[in-house]
Amino acid sequence: MQGPLIDTLARRGVTRRTFFKYCATLASLMALPPSAGRAMAEAMAAAPAASKRPSVIWLPFQECTGCTESITRSHSPSIEGLIFDAISLDYQETLMAAAGHQAEEALHHAMKENEGKYLLIVDGSIPLGLDGAYSCIAGKTNLEALKEAAKGAAAIVAMGSCAAFGGIPKANPNPTGAVSVSDIIKDKPIINIPGCPPIPVVMTGVLAHYLTFGTVPELDKLGRPKAFYGETIHDRCYRRPFYDQGKFAKTFDDEGARKGWCLFELGCKGPVTYNACATVKWNAGTSWPVESGHGCLGCSEPDFWDGGGFYRALSRPADPLKMAATAAAVGAAAGVAITFANRAKKSSAKAAHETVTLADLEK
């Protein structure tokens, strides 16, 4: 395997073998056949010189920068970072050196030069309220910026739950009128990579897939790559046996919690959350929320902020019951009303009673 990337890696002390192992891991995580690992390695290794590398433009909208933080907190920073050597990250506000007019210049130049070919990454939701005035960059609303950038993009990656589904800005009462990328762009392939934030290797894995094969990976109904979002947390959770046995922690420091019992009762949304946390974990496989003793928030699902509360078990009502008392009272009133009506009817039937004689037996 030859190529500029291999040389760069070798200079930083990463052997070819290590690089290949990394690609193989990536491929297996995405449930691709073994040959795909090699294909990925060869494709990335052969990444051409800077000017010919695929252009990637990253536009941040109503976001918290968590997704950028996550992708840069990879478990092998040197390798994750080097993925960026396989692409030409032409615009990324957090990572780029330029600012102000220079940054704008870089953006427009990249869009023009690579028209129809660049990969557009978006993080953060897009506000529609006040004609988009809630979030503007360089005098342009996010909405305008997205539409403009989407026109020349080959594909769009909606990075993080905000871009994929609207995220926290969209949470009730959604004061800015926040929406997701796919609410606005309807004519380009969109890969949703939700999570708040998404797992680092999920982000890089999807990019690697795109770079290798030039295609969007297989997506589920919500536009998420099935390779990482095909299973629920619940189905891959190491605490599942406790769920099945009914052993639940009832508070965060009771005996059950200390014994590592299931966190369903404490609001874990594992059963309805599709993500790779239970298998891939976080921080180079150090741990993940459940393993650390906190239930899954469901952060890779749409509208998880309004899902009834992080600490309310799935089988509990999402909101306190409001109608029960009134409904019961209304029901009782209806019952009492019909009772009176029935009494009246019975009385009049009795009053209408004429003593039955033999004549009454014949028509």
Residues in contact with other proteins by CB under 8 A are 165, 220-222, 232, 234-235, 243-246, 248, 264-265, 271-272, 274, 298, 301-304, 306-308, 313-319, 321-324, 326-328, 330-332, 334-339, 341-342, 345-346, 349-350, 352-363
Tell me the β-bridge partners of 192: 158
- Which is closer to other proteins, CB of 154 or CB of 168? 168
Which amino acid type is present at position 169?
Answer: P
**How far is 264 from 249, CA to CA, in rounded Å?**
8
In the complex, minimum distance from the CB of residue 305 to other proteins, in angstroms, rounded to a whole number? 10
In the complex, minimum distance from the CB of residue 321 to other proteins, in angstroms, rounded to a whole number? 5
**How far is 69 from 95, CA to CA, in rounded Å?**
10
Under a CB-based contact definition with an 8 Å cutoff, are residues 216 and 184 in contact? no
In the complex, minimum distance from the CB of residue 139 to other proteins, in angstroms, rounded to a whole number? 33
| Nearest CA among 269, 266, 279, 262 for reference residue 299 | 269
**How far is 167 from 64, CA to CA, in rounded Å?**
11
- Which is closer to other proteins, CB of 244 or CB of 253? 244
Structure tokens at 93: 């506000």
Backbone angles phi, psi at 309, to 5 degrees: 110, 135
- Which is closer to other proteins, CB of 73 or CB of 247? 247
- Which is closer to other proteins, CB of 70 or CB of 180? 180
In the complex, minimum distance from the CB of residue 175 to other proteins, in angstroms, rounded to a whole number? 18
- Which is closer to other proteins, CB of 274 or CB of 282? 274
Under a CB-based contact definition with an 8 Å cutoff, are residues 20 and 37 in contact? yes
In the complex, minimum distance from the CB of residue 65 to other proteins, in angstroms, rounded to a whole number? 25
In the complex, minimum distance from the CB of residue 161 to other proteins, in angstroms, rounded to a whole number? 11
In the complex, minimum distance from the CB of residue 290 to other proteins, in angstroms, rounded to a whole number? 17
Structure tokens at 178: 């926040």
In the complex, minimum distance from the CB of residue 316 to other proteins, in angstroms, rounded to a whole number? 4
**How far is 182 from 203, CA to CA, in rounded Å?**
18
- Which is closer to other proteins, CB of 90 or CB of 301? 301
- Which is closer to other proteins, CB of 187 or CB of 362? 362
- Which is closer to other proteins, CB of 57 or CB of 178? 178
Q: Tokens 């004549």 correspond to what residue?
A: 359
- Enter the DSSP assignment of 91: E
| Strands (DSSP E) found in 24-159 | 55-60, 88-92, 118-123, 126-127, 136-137, 140-141, 153-159
Distance from first CA to last CA of the chain, Å, rounded?
A: 108
**How far is 236 from 271, CA to CA, in rounded Å?**
10
In the complex, minimum distance from the CB of residue 79 to other proteins, in angstroms, rounded to a whole number? 33
Angle, CA 220 vertex, CA 214 and CA 223 arms, to 5°: 65
**Alpha helix segments (H runs only) across 166-302:** 167-170, 181-184, 200-213, 226-229, 233-236, 240-245, 255-258, 277-280
- Which is closer to other proteins, CB of 51 or CB of 326? 326
